[in-house]
Amino acid sequence: MVAASSDLLPHPLDPLSSAEIQSAIDLVKKAHGELFFNVVSLHEPRKVEMTKWLENPSASRPARIADVVVIVPGGKVYDGLVDLASGTITKWELLDGLQPIITMEELIAVEHVCRKDPKVIEQCELSGIAKEDMHKVYCDPWTIGYDEQHGNKVRLQQALMYYRPNVDDCQYQYPLDFCPIYDGAKKEIIFIDIPKVRRPLSKAQPINYHPAGVEKAGGYRDSLKPINITQPEGVSFNVTGREIEWQNWKFHIGFNYREGIVLNNITFNDKGNVRPLFYRLSLAEMVVPYGNPEHPHQRKHAFDLGEYGAGYMTNSLTLGCDCKGSIHYLDAEFPTRAGGIRTIKNAICIHEEDGGILFKHTDFRDESVIVTRARKLIVQQIFTAANYEYAIQWIFHQDGTIQPEIKLTGILNTYTMDPSEDTHGWGTQVYPGVNAHNHQHLFCLRIDANVDGPNNTIFMADAVASDAPVGSPENFYGNAFSAKRTKFSTVGESATDYNGATSRTWDICNTNKLHPYSGKPASYKLVSREVPRLLPKEGSLVWKRAGFARHAVHVTKYQDDQLWPAGRHVPQTSGEPSQGLPEWMSDGSESIDNTDIVLWHTFGVTHIPAPEDFPVMPVEPITLLLRPRNFFTNNPVMDVPPSFCSTPSQVAANGAGVTDATDKLSKLAFTNGNGCCANGTNGTNGTS
Amino acid sequence: MVAASSDLLPHPLDPLSSAEIQSAIDLVKKAHGELFFNVVSLHEPRKVEMTKWLENPSASRPARIADVVVIVPGGKVYDGLVDLASGTITKWELLDGLQPIITMEELIAVEHVCRKDPKVIEQCELSGIAKEDMHKVYCDPWTIGYDEQHGNKVRLQQALMYYRPNVDDCQYQYPLDFCPIYDGAKKEIIFIDIPKVRRPLSKAQPINYHPAGVEKAGGYRDSLKPINITQPEGVSFNVTGREIEWQNWKFHIGFNYREGIVLNNITFNDKGNVRPLFYRLSLAEMVVPYGNPEHPHQRKHAFDLGEYGAGYMTNSLTLGCDCKGSIHYLDAEFPTRAGGIRTIKNAICIHEEDGGILFKHTDFRDESVIVTRARKLIVQQIFTAANYEYAIQWIFHQDGTIQPEIKLTGILNTYTMDPSEDTHGWGTQVYPGVNAHNHQHLFCLRIDANVDGPNNTIFMADAVASDAPVGSPENFYGNAFSAKRTKFSTVGESATDYNGATSRTWDICNTNKLHPYSGKPASYKLVSREVPRLLPKEGSLVWKRAGFARHAVHVTKYQDDQLWPAGRHVPQTSGEPSQGLPEWMSDGSESIDNTDIVLWHTFGVTHIPAPEDFPVMPVEPITLLLRPRNFFTNNPVMDVPPSFCSTPSQVAANGAGVTDATDKLSKLAFTNGNGCCANGTNGTNGTS
């Protein structure tokens, strides 16, 4: 079932509607004239107000407030708040030396300017591109990151340059060796970084993944038979506005320009008792540092969320393409730079998948058995950050587990190299003339925990051997081991790294709720195994700008508006001082024991490219789990109907009364004329 | 297509057929009289012979030889080999102090003896069980592991005792506190371990996952709508005998009593060039040490493969139950102890699954896009090791990745506790009176590598920051990082642990085959992130017996018959000296550089139980990847037909000529009367 919100008013955490965005824009324009709108987004209600409303939705509803960031022609930047009900601008603040997020429109502008810039044309000619071929020159505009030569007073982009001999070619196979700097206010190229050693345009044959390219290389394989996934009775979830209910879960699906999907007020109905789990869950930031130390590659360390926005860059998804079965979509609405509305149709897809076996057990004595299949709910967005794509899946399991999963695909960022050149190990030649630099994708998961209530405590858990030596009375056979639990009392204590050897996890505990059997606190365990260290060194530019990535876990006391751990305005920050999380952690002395806390978890991959990743990269998944431990009285999924269940007494009674709900649509792969199973030993004849 | 082998002879790596097993048994019986047959299994061809045959199948075929292990009534154990073609016993060797694998029949026998043993009955009465209720007493018979009080001359099992008030109850909720020791030759209980502090039978209410139990607790949920998975045109793989071809892969699926599935001669057809990858791949051993140091719990450290056999314990799978879609099954055939044949129908299932997105890229300029969906092939078995189940999936991806995945489910091993008792952290009270001890599941993956030929070399790869400090000319901005590669020249150097901080991987390289672009050797990378240390301490009983688990990786030079890293006969080994891998590693001086090598990888989980795991455990998956790196010239899946592809020129031409093969069966989850999408903002009215 889908339904509109039960009343006409939006849920307080619903994104601003197009009408609300337009209303905020109109108010601001009226007050301040023509502006460029970088952000018009929901200013989320203060938690104290929101909590009151959640407890009693008939009580006073949090106000709808627009968070507005504008650039005045000429370059001045203002942060504002607009109260939509009263139509008043409640805040209007000039920013100094801060650059707001780059919009798609700002990105798109750069290429056109580059193509016409005489100095860029000159560099293209030097690279071997004819002047009349400038329409074959492309650029991926990135924020400049931070470059001390240029500072942060002027709004800048760096243009990573490529040549595409044919409009349909993969863009990243002919990189150019120079890098123009674009001034967003002037709409001009103000500088070009030119390497000392020049590298002419590669003469390699093009390699392409589009149909013409594949046909040329031998054509498509025709060996795949269809797998159909259908849901004839529809889906198992209900949607009311942006609130979804599925298999005891209930949560609100927000979306903003910055983080994309935001999951709010996640609860689990535990046998009639609706238990809060997370107040807010999102991917809050990421950084992609590249490992080539040569200037200007140090500037390649994109904060894709803070600098470009996972919402702004999100794909419009297609039915029967990005996922299969019965799909529910949610659209996204954003301002255009000029003050109109941009709608991204199908920005979020929601669907179920069969999850394989949920649990199984056979009694070896009589082969009495239970097999129960699992179901997953997936809330997904996919965003394109220039060359890369990130498919962000929030996977909900019936057993109370939440599994954020990120699938990396798209195309490597590339730089040109002479065939004879040494990469010095900072990159890999993935195709003749194409150097794909080493990089990391480090994501920051923001966990605003609410495990059985707002007051939570984080423990670090390490599986360790007993200290007692082999042969001692306490550990005679040497096999003793247990979970060592370390409580984080203060913010400072919480800055911790992963330890694979001890299978380290971090437990979000409610120490006020002890399990009746285990005596341990109700908890959600963060199980995350892909947790590389930040490889840019301590004191480096990236280390300073991406303070959140210094450790796998940091914990802070909840504060309204502390949402984005690299800071609110990320482009061109110098990291001196570090914005966001390091600021909020302050001297580390604040208590985080049994209070409203936020856990910031940085995880990801270190990617040393290989030719298999080029010219387009097969999906590389990264995943982690938030698992209930000592939270439920016992296994919470025993009431999921089994596919098959026979008990010993039913086996003894020759199968009378067994539960048989096996999937009758499943078939043997191969059958002979009599419909009988034909495996290798009794199959049909003939070679395949 | 399925077909019988192209000739009437079995593939040299096919498991022995029932006829072959029977023939070996008859020959042995004729020569040696009545015996108990513990093993009659394929003695695998010597690699040198097998390689010759693979190169030229019309050349002389390796002989079919049966590997036979018998117990003579009275207890003597013999290892034998039987040449099936000539009908001769070519080896017959008396073993001293070695106990062969325990069969299901040996396991089943113990409970019946326990129920009638007066001393066991006495202990049951002391626990509070009436004499006439002995049919409600059950035991899980385990090998004794190793107990220095009993040594290894006598074939022993320990009986972990439970009370089931009702025949259909979950067995593990009323554990008993004593442990009888069973002599397999005498068929008697010869000893009972009785704890100093007695714990009477728990009086807790039963908790059950069977239908009657669920109905009593409120009944099944009715909120799940079906998801149908159908393959109307059949499967995309071909099977000839036990050889399978799918999406450029080809391999032979073996199966034995010990390891279960064995994958032989795995090759990948790289544009017509059939390239060898792995000569043999299997899960070769596992150990499950428990962490409670109190006697006799140190004996709980099951080697499920070496002591019981993943083949012997494998489940007979059910169509539409253990997997969905179009399934191909293979049966397994084993000897019975008395010398008959036991067939396990559907011991292996083979099926395909949709694999989500294979790759995707959108050009942000014009939204030209390609989306290609992935397919997976899964070869699966599920085995029941008393309380636990292990679903072993060998997942093949189109991009050349092999992903072994193990799903743990079933029931925790439990011991009784008084409600007032302290677990001392060695376990968790998961239900009143039920103490589930901490444990590890450590699996050993045996990788007999053949990456582009038999001569391979292992490198350890660590992602590390440059040594050059921030501000130095070589690393001015501090962002330099690369993969540090450490070659293993000798067996001794190869014993290495996981390092999460450096995202450590191990690369199986063919240093004789350098990639034309990257200049790096053709390789398969072992990406494994769940690699806890062995927690039983150095010098402990488990450390001595499970030598393979001391490090995440060991590499040895290939030797025929070095298959199982805890040794050929595991029950009751003392670990003095350590059998198997430590033996084969010898002094560590052997060269493993550019030669035929085997990589032994130990991975798994440390499990600190929680009440959510009881009375039956939702699946906990563990996975790892073997990924081609610098192996293919470029992305090997570009020729998989896309679901949707539009190029910039097609977008410019308003979509003319785009490839649109999106799945037309996918549907919107919710539609209004006009068939139009109804999301929260324009949906049908009414609450859900």
Tell me: the pLDDT tens digits for A458-482?
999 999 999 999 999 999 999 999 9
Evaluate whether residue A229 is within a structural domain.
no
Q: Are B635 and A616 in contact (CB under 8 A)?
A: yes
Residue B479 backbone class (left: φ over 0; alpha: ψ -120 to 50; beta: rest): alpha
pLDDT band at A607 (very low <50, low <70, confident <90, very high): very high
Given an 8 Å threshold on Cβ–Cβ distance, is A639 in contact with B605? no
Average pLDDT score, chain A: 95
Tell me what pLDDT residue A686 has.
33
Q: A611, A629, A647: which is the final residue of a domain?
A: A629
Active site residue A388: yes
Residues B137 and B44 in one domain: no
- Look up residue A119 and give its two tokens: 């100095």
Tell me what pLDDT residue B420 has.
86
Of B217, B324, B618, the CB nearest to A354: B324
Evaluate whether residue A328 is within a structural domain.
yes
Window 86-145 of B, Cβ < 8 Å to A? 104, 107-108, 111, 138
Q: How close, in Å, is residue A425 to chain B by CA atoms?
A: 6
Q: Tell me the C-alpha distance between A562 and A43, whole Å.
A: 12
Q: Tell me the C-alpha distance between B560 and A164, whole Å.
A: 54
Helices (H), A194-299: 211-216
Residues A386 and A530 in one domain: yes
Total domain count for chain A?
3
- Residues A503-533 as b/e (b if ≥16 CB within 10 A, e otherwise) read bbbbbbbbbebebebbebbbbbbbbbbbbbb
pLDDT band at A687 (very low <50, low <70, confident <90, very high): very low
What are the pLDDT digits (tens) for A414-443?
999 998 899 999 999 999 999 999 999 999
- Give A98-135 as a DSSP string: --PPPPHHHHHHHHHHHHH-HHHHHHHHHHT--GGGGG
Evaluate whether residue B502 is within a structural domain.
yes
Tell me what pLDDT residue B321 has.
81
Write the CATH number for B84: 3.10.450.40
Of A212, A291, A644, the CB nearest to B321: A644
Q: How close, in Å, is residue A589 to chain B by CA atoms?
A: 27
Q: 3-state secondary structure string, B177-243?
A: CCEEEEECCCCEEEEEECCCCCCCCCCCCCCCCCHHHHHHCCCCCCCCCCCEEECCCCCCCEEECCE
Q: A45, A72, A95: which is the final residue of a domain?
A: A95
Q: Tell me the C-alpha distance between B505 and A24, whole Å.
A: 52
- Look up residue A407 and give its two tokens: 């699938």
What are the pLDDT digits (tens) for B6-48?
456 899 999 999 999 999 999 999 999 999 999 999 999 999 9
Given an 8 Å threshold on Cβ–Cβ distance, is B111 in contact with A365? yes
Residues A390 and A305 in one domain: yes
Q: Tell me the C-alpha distance between A457 and A203, whole Å.
A: 59
Residues A117 and A37 in one domain: no
B288, closest residue in chain A (CA to CA): A479
Evaluate whether residue B30 is within a structural domain.
yes
Tell me what pLDDT residue A294 has.
96
ipTM of the complex: 0.96
Evaluate whether residue A344 is within a structural domain.
yes
Q: A629, A646, A663: which is the final residue of a domain?
A: A629
Contact with chain B for residue A20, Cβ under 8 A: no
Q: Tell me the C-alpha distance between B375 and B356, whole Å.
A: 8
- Best B230, B369, B666 member to test A by mutation, with max A CBs in 10 Å, is B666
What are the pLDDT digits (tens) for B440-466?
999 999 999 999 999 999 999 999 999
- Number of C-beta neighbours around residue B311 at 10 A: 24
> Which three-class secondary structure state does DSSP give residue B31?
helix
**Domain housing B10:** 2-95
Write the CATH number for B384: 2.70.98.20
Residues near B265 by beta carbon (within 8 Å), at least 6 away in sequence:
B13, B54, B250, B251, B252, B276, B278, B279, B280
Residue A586 backbone class (left: φ over 0; alpha: ψ -120 to 50; beta: rest): left
Tell me what pLDDT residue B343 has.
98
Consecutive 10-residue averages of pLDDT for chain B (688 residues) = 62 98 98 97 98 92 97 95 98 96 95 98 97 98 96 96 97 97 96 95 96 96 97 97 98 98 98 98 98 97 98 95 93 98 98 97 96 98 98 98 98 94 97 98 98 98 98 98 98 97 97 98 98 97 98 98 98 97 98 98 98 98 97 98 97 95 94 42 33
Q: Which of B92, B77, B148, B67 is nearest to B573 (CA)?
A: B148
Q: How close, in Å, is residue A674 to chain B by CA atoms?
A: 15
Evaluate whether residue A226 is within a structural domain.
no
Task: Name the active-site residue from B67, B304, B399, B613.
Answer: B304
Given an 8 Å threshold on Cβ–Cβ distance, is A644 in contact with B318? yes
β-pairing, A156-163 vs A179-183, is antiparallel
Tell me what pLDDT residue A380 has.
98
Of B6, B482, B519, the CB nearest to A291: B482
Contact with chain B for residue A608, Cβ under 8 A: yes
Residues B436 and B504 in one domain: yes
Q: Are A453 and A510 in contact (CB under 8 A)?
A: yes
Window 146-205 of B, Cβ < 8 Å to A? 167-168, 171
Residues B202 and B125 in one domain: yes
Of A477, A497, A633, the CB nearest to B501: A497
Given an 8 Å threshold on Cβ–Cβ distance, is B669 in contact with A515? no
Residues B501 and B534 in one domain: yes
Residues A443 and A561 in one domain: yes
A412, closest residue in chain B (CA to CA): B361
Contact with chain B for residue A588, Cβ under 8 A: no
Residues B413 and B509 in one domain: yes
What are the pLDDT digits (tens) for A555-584?
999 999 999 999 999 999 999 999 999 999
Q: How close, in Å, is residue B308 to chain A by CA atoms?
A: 12
- Best A172, A247, A321 member to test B by mutation, with max B CBs in 10 Å, is A321
Residues A499 and A600 in one domain: yes
What are the pLDDT digits (tens) for A532-560?
999 999 999 999 999 999 999 999 999 99
Share above pLDDT 70 across residues of chain A, in percent, rounded to a whole number: 96
- Best A273, A275, A297, A364 member to test B by mutation, with max B CBs in 10 Å, is A364
Task: Name the active-site residue from B172, B388, B431, B524.
Answer: B388
Q: How close, in Å, is residue A563 to chain B by CA atoms?
A: 26
Window 381-410 of B, Cβ < 8 Å to A? 382, 384, 386, 389, 391, 397-401, 407, 409-410
Q: Are A566 and A583 in contact (CB under 8 A)?
A: no
- Look up residue B652 and give its two tokens: 């410019």
Residues A407 and A449 in one domain: yes
Evaluate whether residue A647 is within a structural domain.
no
Active site residue A308: no
Residues A113 and A152 in one domain: yes
Q: Tell me the C-alpha distance between A624 and A402, whole Å.
A: 9
Contact with chain B for residue A507, Cβ under 8 A: no
Compute CA distances A415 → A25, A143, A145, A196, whole Å: 41, 17, 17, 15
Which residues of chain B neighbour A3 with C-beta distances below 8 Å? 683-688
Given an 8 Å threshold on Cβ–Cβ distance, is B361 in contact with A389? yes
Evaluate whether residue B653 is within a structural domain.
no
Q: Which of A532, A615, A613, A536 is nearest to A292 (CA)?
A: A536
Q: How close, in Å, is residue A212 to chain B by CA atoms?
A: 10
